[in-house]
């Protein structure tokens, strides 16, 4: 799948088949995450791959609206490391771009994914600190649930010409 096709056809998938995701695929997603550009080459992130079903279930129990984790075969956690942030505020942008790389790479490999926002919701951040033993010095930013899709979602064209401006407002 080429990049433009991946962008146009990627959808949020919340229902997964009980088919494991190989370590090779998870390592490819890690590579995609590490390839993300970041402001001043800060790379203010750490990643945690969660592939233990009981831990995914514990996360679903600990956070509202996260039932997709019960069927997920893996979770990809992106954490902000404030000690690596040279310019305050850019880590959120960098880690957001990182998450998009993971979403697009997963889709290109036939893996369904759902972005679960964590930061700045303290309850969700605490759940990751507790369930996955994330060090207190890190900020759990986003968790991406992963699995082979158990639903076939059509592409949606979200283009809105009323929100496009050229050269000036």
Return the closest-CA partner of residue 7 out of 111, 110, 152, 107: 107
Whether residue 143 is predicted with pLDDT greater than 90 in this model: the reply is yes
Residue 90 burial (CB count, 10 A): 15
pTM of the complete model: 0.96
Burial readout 111-124 (b: 16 or more C-beta within 10 A, e: otherwise): bbbbbbebbeeeeb
Q: 51-100 pLDDT, tens per residue?
A: 999 999 999 999 999 999 999 999 999 999 999 999 999 999 999 999 99
Return the closest-CA partner of residue 73 out of 103, 32, 111, 28: 111
Q: 92-111 pLDDT, tens per residue?
A: 999 999 999 999 999 999 99
Q: 26-53 pLDDT, tens per residue?
A: 999 999 999 999 999 999 999 999 999 9
pLDDT in the model for residue 11: 97
pLDDT in the model for residue 1: 87
What's the full length of the chain, in residues?
169
Question: 41's torsion region: left (phi>0), alpha (psi -120 to 50) or beta?
Answer: left
Q: What's the mean pLDDT when you consider all of the chain?
A: 97
Domains present along the chain, CATH in parentheses: 3-150 (3.40.109.10)
């Amino acid at each position: 799948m080429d990049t433009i096709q991946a962008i146009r056809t990627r959808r949020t998938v919340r229902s997964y088949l009980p088919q494991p995701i190989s370590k090779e695929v998870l390592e490819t997603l890690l590579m995609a995450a590490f390839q993300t550009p970041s402001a001043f080459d800060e790379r203010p992130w750490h990643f945690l791959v969660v592939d233990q079903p009981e831990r995914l279930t514990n996360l679903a129990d600990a956070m509202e609206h996260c039932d997709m984790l019960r069927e997920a075969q893996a979770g990809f956690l992106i954490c902000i490391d404030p000690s690596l942030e040279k310019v305050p505020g850019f880590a959120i942008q960098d880690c957001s771009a990182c998450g998009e790389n993971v979403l697009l790479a997963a889709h290109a490999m036939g893996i369904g994914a759902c972005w679960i926002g964590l930061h700045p919701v303290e309850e969700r951040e605490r759940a990751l600190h507790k369930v996955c033993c994330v060090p207190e010095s890190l900020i759990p930013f986003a968790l991406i649930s992963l699995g082979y899709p158990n639903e076939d979602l059509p592409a949606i064209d979200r283009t809105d010409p009323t929100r496009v401006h050229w050269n000036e407002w």
